[in-house]
């Protein structure tokens, strides 16, 4: 059985409250040997840390762009304090999930950008890579990275252009691919995933979000009372099989290359897997 690394899994989400440990065990049985659990706000920094310790996984600490509206101004100082406190923890592998989201209406772009740049400064200060939320914001994220270079990381749920992909790669980043590429209509994303070099890609679920096509429930079905399918880390090998088919390579080869890329993007993983 191939061994996989889920580089982005919100296993602390309330969607897993009823069966969190069982879901992690099921993922392990499917060959998912490691999960990276990124935080999104101050309220779950402790949760992701304790969960990573419980399951032998790893975590990242940060403030998600869609959480900046509810974040207090002193949360950045508290994040710096948390990073100081836990910097020696080998399971702390990155700062994240941070970034910019220009798709969801409401959050103030200026406030998002301030939190993003301040967290890049923390990544530089602590010598940690970053896990980036990229949603209609690739160019502005790249602008920030050029102004404040960091020790690489992962552009999570990447769905940009080939030119943007190459720009992230040139800055030492890997690109995260997950359930979105399983949809036949995702033509540009599937083409990009097939064409990128083998050392560019890492795998992720973003569980419980971004369900693959076999879990997707349409708006009409939801209106009839059928709940949206819940993504989970156990889905990673099946998502990977779709990617392997798109790239015309054996799943075993993809498992090896994507895991090596995860270790390159998040160097502290080397001591954990």
Number of Cα atoms under 13 Å in the Cβ half of residue 67: 18
Contact 58, 95 (CB under 8 A): no
**Scanning the structure block, which residue is given the tokens 């050392």?**
199
Average pLDDT over residues 46-60: 98
Average pLDDT, the chain: 97
pLDDT number for residue 218: 82
Ramachandran category for residue 157: left, alpha or beta (phi over 0 → left; psi -120 to 50 → alpha): left
219 pLDDT above the threshold of 90: no
Task: Give dist(CA 215, CA 179) in Å, integer.
Answer: 10
pLDDT in tens, 117-128: 999 999 999 999
pLDDT tier at 162 (50, 70, 90 boundaries)? very high
pLDDT number for residue 67: 98
pLDDT number for residue 19: 98
84 pLDDT above the threshold of 90: yes
225 pLDDT above the threshold of 80: no
1 pLDDT above the threshold of 90: no
pLDDT number for residue 149: 98
Q: Which residues contact 8 (CB under 8 A, 6 or more apart)?
A: 36, 38, 97, 131, 154, 156, 157, 176, 178, 204, 205, 206
The structure's pTM equals: 0.97
Task: Give dist(CA 257, CA 202) in Å, integer.
Answer: 8
pLDDT number for residue 111: 98
**What is the three-state SS of the chain?**
CCCEEECCECCCCHHHCCCHHHHHHHHHHCCEEEEEEECCCHHHHHHHHHHHHHHCCEEEECCCHHHCCCCCCCHHHHHHHHHHHHCCCCCEEEEEEEEEECCCCCCCHHHHHHHHHHHHHHHHHHCCCEEEEEECCHHHHHHHHHHCCCCCEEEECCCCCHHHHHHHHHCCEEEEECHHHHCCCCHHHHHHHHHCCHHHEEECCCECCCCCHHHCCCHHHHHCCCCCCCCCHHHHHHHHHHHHHHHCCCHHHHHHHHHHHHHHHCHHHHHCC
Task: Give dist(CA 34, CA 26) in Å, integer.
Answer: 12
Task: Give dist(CA 87, CA 166) in Å, integer.
Answer: 31
Q: What are the tokens at 241?
A: 């099989």
Give the number of other CB atoms < 10 A from CB of residue 34.
Answer: 24
Number of Cα atoms under 13 Å in the Cβ half of residue 29: 7
pLDDT number for residue 88: 98
């Amino acid at each position: 059985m191939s061994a996989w690394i889920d580089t982005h899994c919100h296993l602390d989400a309330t969607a897993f409250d009823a069966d969190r440990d069982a879901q992690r065990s099921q993922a392990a049985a499917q060959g998912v040997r490691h999960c990276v659990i990124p935080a999104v706000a101050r309220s779950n920094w402790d949760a992701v840390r304790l969960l990573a310790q419980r399951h032998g996984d790893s975590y990242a600490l940060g403030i998600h762009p869609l959480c900046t509206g509810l974040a207090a101004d002193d949360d950045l100082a508290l994040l710096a304090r948390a990073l100081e406190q836990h910097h020696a923890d080998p399971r702390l592998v990155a700062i994240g999930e941070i970034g910019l989201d220009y798709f969801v209406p409401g959050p103030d772009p200026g406030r998002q950008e301030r939190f993003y740049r301040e967290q890049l400064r923390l990544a530089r200060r602590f010598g940690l890579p970053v896990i980036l939320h990229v949603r209609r914001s690739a160019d502005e994220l790249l602008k920030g990275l050029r102004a404040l270079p960091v020790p690489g990381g992962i552009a999570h749920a990447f769905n940009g252009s080939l030119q943007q992909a190459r720009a992230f790669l040139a800055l030492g980043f890997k690109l995260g691919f997950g359930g979105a590429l399983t949809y036949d209509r995702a033509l540009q994303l599937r083409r990009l995933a097939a064409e990128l070099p083998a050392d560019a890609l890492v795998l992720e679920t973003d569980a419980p979000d971004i369900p693959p096509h076999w879990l997707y429930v349409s708006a009409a079905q939801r209106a009839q009372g059928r709940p949206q399918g819940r993504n989970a880390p156990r889905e990673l090998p099946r998502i990977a099989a779709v990617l392997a088919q798109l790239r015309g390579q054996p799943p075993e080869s993809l498992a090896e290359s994507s895991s090596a890329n995860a270790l390159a993007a998040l160097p502290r993983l080397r001591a954990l897997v």
